[in-house]
Amino acid sequence: MKISFDNTEIAFSGKSDADLTRAYILFNMVSSMQMVKIGKKLTDFSIKLNLPIKGLIKATIFKQFCGGETIAECDKTIANLADYKIKTILDYSVEGKESELEFERTTTQLIATIEKAKTSQNIPFSVFKVTGIARFNLLEKVNSNCVLTEAEKQEWEKVISRFDHICKTAFLSGIPVLIDAEESWIQDAIDELALKMMRLYNNEKAIVYNTLQMYRTGRINYLEELLMKAKAEKFFIGMKLVRGAYMEKERTRAIEMNYTSPIHVDKLGVDKDYDRALLFCIENFYEISICAGTHNEASALYLAELMDEFKIEKNNPKIYFAQLLGMSDHISYNMAKVGYNVAKYVPYGPVKEILPYLIRRAEENTSVAGQTSRELSLILKERKRRKGH
């Protein structure tokens, strides 16, 4: 069956009329940078004054983009997605913590997501952000090869221990773990940790997956060098490919600190590198397993074409397509319908704690050219189709 991303009946088969109306209102709001800025200020203001806005947030933006406040609350979303042959990646999306106690709590939660995945055939991966278990400033210092104080050395050892605990649990459970990419000025430190874990746990297959943000220049070179190491040292590579989530912040910092921006000058360069990375991974398919995190229709189709060209079956467990819950359902549902491995990132966590993630998601939608307008046009098309019936 040929893939058609224009089939809205399939794309929104898991959505009620009320779900579509909510999505339409939300995407209309995030299409305006001004509205996003106002919404962010109002939310911050309301939280500071302890105004009762949790119910409003949970019924709107939280419901669109999140599975629940706890793993148990995500069960309904997991089951709903599974009805359409779409898997779930539970993403504990609490951000911006700084204390050792909070890092330990996050680690415990991440281990719980791996334990949950062990009991469910509908959860193929676990995932975490390194800034969820480590101080940003410490990562920045390690990344810059600065001399650490004795206290910082001990703190860094705890980070490595937490990192290893998560990856080892994933290895023993047989559940691959995706390590999210972050800002370029802490990414080298993350890459080194990921490489250390691949060497430890990827000897039989890819369990530890690093993430490449292809809006950065030089990431193809990193991938080529990693493959050389993997071949020489006999370990497998797990790689999640994304375009990236920190573009505006990266460019602003480069200007403020007067260094060459690590970001491609235009979208064409990003798209070209993303698809080059897909081709490279497929050409080296024996060594590399892929999770293609993309909301880009052309790249999704390109990977499907590559799989066909290299005679790789649609449901090969070494290739997954992934999108965020509440976005790009026209890609997720239509690809799953014809037999590809598809998973949705399902963020969860306490409403108040997950707000920074939700605000960032709204900001990203306004900065990605065409993303929101495409979502809106598809929702309008489906609403019109339903009224016609």
Going edge to edge, which strands form the sheet with 319-324?
Answer: 87-92, 342-348, 319-324, 288-293, 237-242, 208-213, 177-179, 126-128
- In three-state form (DSSP H/G/I as H, E/B as E, the rest C), the secondary structure along the chain is CCCCCCCHHHHCCCCCHHHHHHHHHHHHHHCCHHHHHHHHHHHHHHHHCCCCCHHHHHHCHHHHHCCECCCHHHHHHHHHHHCCCCEEEEEECCCCCCCHHHHHHHHHHHHHHHHHHHCCCCCCEEEECHHHCCCHHHHHHHHCCCCCCHHHHHHHHHHHHHHHHHHHHHHHHCCCEEECCCCHHHHHHHHHHHHHHHHHHCCCCCCEEEEEECCECCHHHHHHHHHHHHHHHCCCEEEEEECCCCHHHHHHHHHHCCCCCCECCCHHHHHHHHHHHHHHHHHCCCCEEEEEECCCHHHHHHHHHHHHHCCCCCCCCCEEEEEECCCCHHHHHHHHHCCCCEEEEEEECCHHHHHHHHHHHHHHHHHCCCHHHHHHHHHHHHHHHHHHC
How far is the C-alpha of 19 from the C-alpha of 81, rounded, in Å? 14
Nearest of 175, 201, 191, 190 to residue 116 by alpha carbon: 175
What is the residue-level pLDDT of the chain in tens, covering all 389 positions?
578 899 999 999 999 999 999 998 888 876 665 655 655 665 665 556 565 567 778 888 889 999 999 999 999 999 999 999 999 999 998 877 899 999 999 999 999 999 999 999 999 999 999 999 999 999 999 999 999 999 999 999 999 999 999 999 999 999 999 999 999 999 999 999 999 999 999 999 999 999 999 999 999 999 999 999 999 999 999 999 999 878 888 999 999 999 999 999 998 999 999 999 999 999 999 999 999 999 999 999 999 999 999 999 999 999 999 999 999 999 999 999 999 999 999 999 998 888 777 776 666 655 555 667 888 899 999 999 999 76
Q: Hey, which residues does 347 pair with through a beta bridge?
A: 91
pLDDT given for residue 36 in this prediction: 53
How far is the C-alpha of 284 from the C-alpha of 279, rounded, in Å? 9
The position carrying tokens 């050792």 is 100
> Checking DSSP bridges between strand 319-324 and strand 87-92, what pairing results, if any?
unpaired
Q: Residues 333-348: pLDDT tens digits?
A: 999 999 999 999 999 9
pLDDT given for residue 361 in this prediction: 66
**Six token digits for residue 171:** 């290895």
Q: Residues 364-388: pLDDT tens digits?
A: 655 555 667 888 899 999 999 999 7
pTM for the complete prediction?
0.94
CA angle 216, 130, 264 (to 5 degrees): 5
- One-letter identity of residue 341: N
Query: Are the beta carbons of 84 and 333 closer than 8 angstroms?
Result: yes
**Six token digits for residue 241:** 């490919």
